[in-house]
Amino acid sequence: MKIRLLLATALAAVATLSFAAPDKPECIAGAKPGGGFDLTCKLAQQGLQEAKLIANPMRITYMPGGVGAVAMNAVVGQRPSDGNAIVAFSGGSLLNIAQGKFGKWTENDVRWIAAIGTDYGCVSVRADSPYKTLKDLMTAIKADPTKVAIGGGGTVGSQDWTKTATLAKQIGVDPKALRYVSFEGNGEVTTALLGGHIQAGSGDVSADLPQHKAGKIRILAVYADKRLPGDAANIPTAKEAGYDFTWPIIRGFYVAPKISDADYKFWLDSFTKLLASKDFLALRDQRDLYPFNLTGAELDAYVKKTVADYRKIADEYGLIQK
């Protein structure tokens, strides 16, 4: 009897340890500090620690390059069994995977954990612009695309370019005819817009909303299914203007492909609990992200469908790297 009791106790201890929080929790951000990946990691770091879902402090490791390509290469290629680390991803990561910019790694080479929120694409003009609505802007582009300079972060194939190209196609304009001006990031786009160097900016709601609220720029439309809450409630969607177009920019995490099922379950359970927490929802609101909660199999299905859709767009525009 004693032997059986000791065995049962030992097995229970092993089970507890196998589902214990990682000793050295880490969040890998695929860019320099200060960007969207950093925001995503810091949100998980604060949320998991304050909810006491991890026992030890979570460190953030920065691996800039390729909108997450360097980070995925490091985790899949060098740390495939490391259950300590979660890796931040974004909608931009999925677009680059679809275009083949992650090299040999694809959406099938990692285990998807959780999407914890989303931003949305938008299009903005200067506050004194003659374009009062998205329809005004698209009418001008259709009349003569060379006369409307549209700025965005990244070159041809980036999210900002793809958003603009997809809308242009809906009005029968060849994306190659667009006068697209490439910038390093959203800050530069806003500066160019305020300076009158471009007539419109392709960006994200979280980045443009402060300038919109300050009366310096005007967001013509958000690329969401329905109007957003809070300070963006009075901004129409592209659908309201007659364009069948949405562009969520989700933020979330994946883990290495060969971590144990116990480690995977720990992260999955932790994020499931976190997303149900009112305290976490408040943290997300503070970072100007909107609800988008998917975990485990649901997120895996979403990611694979989204990448497949992006591949069709990339193939249509000749953007897939072989």
Model pLDDT for residues 47-80, shown as the tens digit of each residue: 999 999 999 999 999 998 888 999 999 999 999 9
| pLDDT, mean of residues 263-288 | 95
Q: Domain spanning 120-232: which CATH class is it, in words? A: alpha beta
Tokens of 178: 């667009």
Q: Return the number of other C-beta atoms located less than 10 Å from residue 214's C-beta.
A: 9
pLDDT tier, 284 (very low <50, low <70, confident <90, very high otherwise): very high
pLDDT at position 12 over 50: no
DSSP state of 54: S
Tokens of 255: 């883990």
Nearest to 270 by CA among 86, 60, 53, 59: 53
Instruction: Assess whether the region 24-119+248-316 and the region 120-232 belong to the same CATH fold.
Output: yes
Question: What CA–CA distance (Å, rounded) separates 197 from 217?
Answer: 14
Q: Whole-angstrom distance between the N-terminal and C-terminal Cα of the chain?
A: 65
Cβ-proximal residues to 253 (8 Å cutoff; 6+ apart), any chain: 27, 40, 44, 86, 87, 88, 89, 113, 114, 116, 267, 271
CATH of domain 24-119+248-316: 3.40.190.150
| pLDDT, mean over the chain | 91
pLDDT tier, 20 (very low <50, low <70, confident <90, very high otherwise): low
At 250 the pLDDT is 95
pLDDT tier, 199 (very low <50, low <70, confident <90, very high otherwise): very high
* Contact present, 247 and 223 (Cβ < 8 Å): yes
Kindly report the pTM of this predicted structure: 0.83
Element of type H or E holding 207: helix 205-213
At 288 the pLDDT is 82
The C-alpha angle with vertex 161 and arms to 158 and 287, in degrees rounded to 5, equals: 70
Give me the residue spans of the domains in the chain.
Answer: 24-119+248-316, 120-232
* Contact present, 193 and 218 (Cβ < 8 Å): no
